[in-house]
Amino acid sequence: MNTRKALVSGLALCAALATSASAETEMGIVVKIGGIPWFNAMEQGILERAEELGVSAEMIGPTSADPALQVRAIEDLIARGVDVIGVVPNDEAALEPVLTKARDAGIVVIAHEGPGLDNVDWNFELASAKGFGEAHAELLCANAEKPGSYAVYVGSLTVPLHNAWADAGVAWMGENCPELTLVGERYGVAESVDDSRSTTLDLIAANEDLRGILAFGSQGPIGAGRAIDERRLTGQVHVMGPFSPGQGRQLVQDGVIAGGYMWNPAEAGRVFVTLGNMLVEGAEVAEGTEIEGLGVVSPDAETRNIITDNLLEINADTVDGLAEQGL
Give domain status of residue 41, yes or no: yes
Predicted confidence (pLDDT) at residue 118 exceeds the cutoff of 90: yes
Give domain status of residue 15, yes or no: no
Q: Where are the alpha helices (DSSP H) in 144-219?
A: 160-176, 193-206
Question: Rounded to two decimals, what is the model's pTM?
Answer: 0.82
pLDDT digits (tens, 9 = 90+) for 256-274: 999 999 999 999 999 999 9
- Domain edge (last residue) among 224, 242, 262: 262
Asked if residue 253 and residue 135 are part of one domain, the reply reads yes
Average pLDDT over residues 243-252: 96
Asked if residue 111 and residue 51 are part of one domain, the reply reads yes
Exposed, middle or buried: residue 284 (CB in 10 Å: 0-12, 13-18, 19+)?
Answer: exposed
Q: Give the separation between CA 112 and CA 93, rounded to whole angstroms.
A: 15
pLDDT digits (tens, 9 = 90+) for 161-209: 999 999 999 999 999 999 999 999 899 999 999 999 999 999 999 999 9
Q: What per-residue confidence (pLDDT) applies to 15?
A: 42
Predicted confidence (pLDDT) at residue 19 exceeds the cutoff of 60: no
Reduced to 3 states, what is the DSSP secondary structure of residue 257?
Answer: strand
Q: What per-residue confidence (pLDDT) applies to 213?
A: 98
Give domain status of residue 197, yes or no: yes
Asked if residue 252 and residue 158 are part of one domain, the reply reads yes
Amino acid, res. 44: Q
Question: Is the Cβ–Cβ distance between 154 and 195 less than 8 Å?
Answer: no
pLDDT digits (tens, 9 = 90+) for 206-220: 999 999 999 999 999
Q: 306: domain range?
A: 24-127+265-312
Amino acid, res. 211: R
Please provide the average confidence, as pLDDT, over all residues in the chain: 93
Give domain status of residue 18, yes or no: no
For residue 58, what is the enclosing H or E element? strand 56-60
Average pLDDT over residues 212-230: 97
Give domain status of residue 42, yes or no: yes
Asked if residue 173 and residue 158 are part of one domain, the reply reads yes
Asked if residue 110 and residue 161 are part of one domain, the reply reads no
Asked if residue 218 and residue 182 are part of one domain, the reply reads yes
Asked if residue 162 and residue 89 are part of one domain, the reply reads no
Reduced to 3 states, what is the DSSP secondary structure of residue 253?
Answer: helix
Amino acid, res. 201: L
Give domain status of residue 35, yes or no: yes
Predicted confidence (pLDDT) at residue 12 exceeds the cutoff of 80: no
Asked if residue 300 and residue 233 are part of one domain, the reply reads no
Predicted confidence (pLDDT) at residue 14 exceeds the cutoff of 70: no
Angle, CA 249 vertex, CA 325 and CA 206 arms, to 5°? 145
Predicted confidence (pLDDT) at residue 7 exceeds the cutoff of 90: no
Give domain status of residue 19, yes or no: no
Give domain status of residue 317, yes or no: no
Predicted confidence (pLDDT) at residue 129 exceeds the cutoff of 70: yes
Amino acid, res. 212: G
Q: What per-residue confidence (pLDDT) applies to 123?
A: 98
Asked if residue 122 and residue 138 are part of one domain, the reply reads no
Asked if residue 184 and residue 74 are part of one domain, the reply reads no
Number of compact structural domains in the chain: 2
Q: What per-residue confidence (pLDDT) applies to 325?
A: 83
Q: Domain containing 170 — which CATH number?
A: 3.40.50.2300
Q: What per-residue confidence (pLDDT) applies to 17?
A: 41
Q: What per-residue confidence (pLDDT) applies to 310?
A: 86
Asked if residue 135 and residue 112 are part of one domain, the reply reads no
Q: How many CA atoms lie within 13 A of 259 on its CB side?
A: 20
Asked if residue 148 and residue 217 are part of one domain, the reply reads yes
Strand pairing of 108-112 and 122-125? parallel
